[in-house]
Amino acid sequence: MTIASTSQFWLQPRHDGLYCAPGDFWIDPHGGKDRALITHGHADHARPGHDKVLATSQTLAIMRARYGKASGQAQQAIDYGDALKIGDVAVSFFPAGHVLGSAQILLEHKGQRIVVSGDYKRRRDPTCLAFEPVACDVFITEATFGLPVFTHPDTAGEVAKILAAQEANPERTLLVGAYALGKCQRVIRHMREAGYTKTIYLHGAMVGLCDLYRELGVDLGPLKQVNLKEMGKLPGDIVICPPGQLNDRWARRFADPITAFASGWMRVRQRAKQRGVELPLIISDHADWNELTQTIEDVAPGEVWVTHGREDALVYWCESNGIQAQALSLVGRGEDADDG
Q: Which residues bind other proteins (CB under 8 A)?
A: 147-149, 151, 160-161, 164-165, 168-169, 171-172, 247-249, 251-252, 256, 258-259, 267-270, 272-274, 276-280, 310, 312-313, 316-317, 320
For other proteins, the closer of residues 33 and 172 by Cβ is 172
- Whole-number minimum distance, CB 159 to other proteins, in Å? 13
For other proteins, the closer of residues 248 and 297 by Cβ is 248
- Whole-number minimum distance, CB 153 to other proteins, in Å? 8
Please, are residues 315 and 339 in contact by the beta-carbon 8 Å criterion? no
Q: Residue 184 region, left (φ>0) first, then alpha (ψ -120 to 50), else beta?
A: alpha
Q: How far is CA 249 from CA 240, 276, 279, 293, 298, in A?
A: 15, 14, 19, 41, 46
Please, are residues 51 and 73 in contact by the beta-carbon 8 Å criterion? yes
- Whole-number minimum distance, CB 258 to other proteins, in Å? 5
- Whole-number minimum distance, CB 194 to other proteins, in Å? 14
For other proteins, the closer of residues 11 and 251 by Cβ is 251
- CA dihedral (220, 284, 208, 226) positive or negative: positive
What strands, in cross-sheet order, belong to the sheet with 25-27? Answer: 11-14, 17-20, 25-27, 35-37, 52-55, 74-77
Q: How far is CA 109 from CA 6, 11, 33, 256, 264, in A?
A: 15, 10, 22, 58, 36
Cα separation, 120 vs 125, whole angstroms: 11
For other proteins, the closer of residues 59 and 155 by Cβ is 155
DSSP H/E element including 281:
strand 279-281
- Whole-number minimum distance, CB 302 to other proteins, in Å? 23
- Whole-number minimum distance, CB 339 to other proteins, in Å? 18
For other proteins, the closer of residues 93 and 254 by Cβ is 254
For other proteins, the closer of residues 198 and 269 by Cβ is 269
For other proteins, the closer of residues 11 and 147 by Cβ is 147
Of 231, 226, 156, the residue nearest 194 (C-alpha): 156
- Whole-number minimum distance, CB 248 to other proteins, in Å? 6
For other proteins, the closer of residues 100 and 175 by Cβ is 175
- Whole-number minimum distance, CB 251 to other proteins, in Å? 6
User: What is the CA angle 168-172-178, rounded to 5?
Assistant: 95
For other proteins, the closer of residues 99 and 165 by Cβ is 165
- Whole-number minimum distance, CB 75 to other proteins, in Å? 38
In whole angstroms, how large is the CA radius of gyration of the chain?
20
Cα separation, 231 vs 222, whole angstroms: 15
Helices (H), the chain: 57-67, 155-168, 183-193, 204-215, 228-231, 269-274, 289-299, 311-320
